[in-house]
Amino acid sequence: MPDNQNPPSAQPPQSAPSTPPVTGGEDKVVAIVAYLTLIGFIVAIIIHMNKKTKLGAYHLRQMLGFILTSIAVVFCEFVLIFIPILGWLCILALWVAMLVLWILGLVAAINGQMKPMPVVGPLYQKWFGTTFD
């Protein structure tokens, strides 16, 4: 046998992981459920209060900002609806942008990443920095 190889019996035994993998799954559950409608957001807050995690808090802040932004878009829609064609196109663009932000936030939650939504995500973290901690 060459000198640089160890016989199979000389390899150290594999040890069990020190932390159970359930923790990561619970983190993801809160993060994902937060993106599933307003009721899902409320359920995620309740789950998060039982066991607080950084990933859960992060995505709860993202979704809180997203919900408030959606409310602002609805109010803008009341003004833009009276502007023919251009206003209607702006309304469509706003809702498409909101859909894209929601999808990107949900994908980050599914992947277990603390990745902010484009443009507004860092603002949400700044504004709601201590919320849900």
Residue 40 pLDDT greater than 80, yes or no: yes
Residue 103 has a pLDDT of: 95
Alpha-carbon distance of 2 to 95, in angstroms, equals: 66
pLDDT category, 6, cuts 50, 70, 90? low
Each residue of 65-76: pLDDT tens digit? 999 999 999 999
- In this prediction the pTM is 0.75
The neighbour count for residue 59, using CB atoms within 10 Å, is 32
Nearest to 59 by CA among 68, 51, 48, 74: 48
Residue 8 pLDDT greater than 90, yes or no: no
Residue 58 has a pLDDT of: 92
Residues 2-8: what's their mean pLDDT?
Answer: 54
Each residue of 87-102: pLDDT tens digit? 999 999 999 999 999 9
Residues 6+ apart with CB under 8 A from 20: none
43: left (phi over 0), alpha (psi -120 to 50) or beta: alpha
Instruction: Considering only residues 92 and 51, tell me which one the structure prediction assigns the higher pLDDT.
Output: 92
Helix axes 22-34, 37-50, angle to 10 degrees: 150
**Residue 2 tokens, joined:** 């060459």
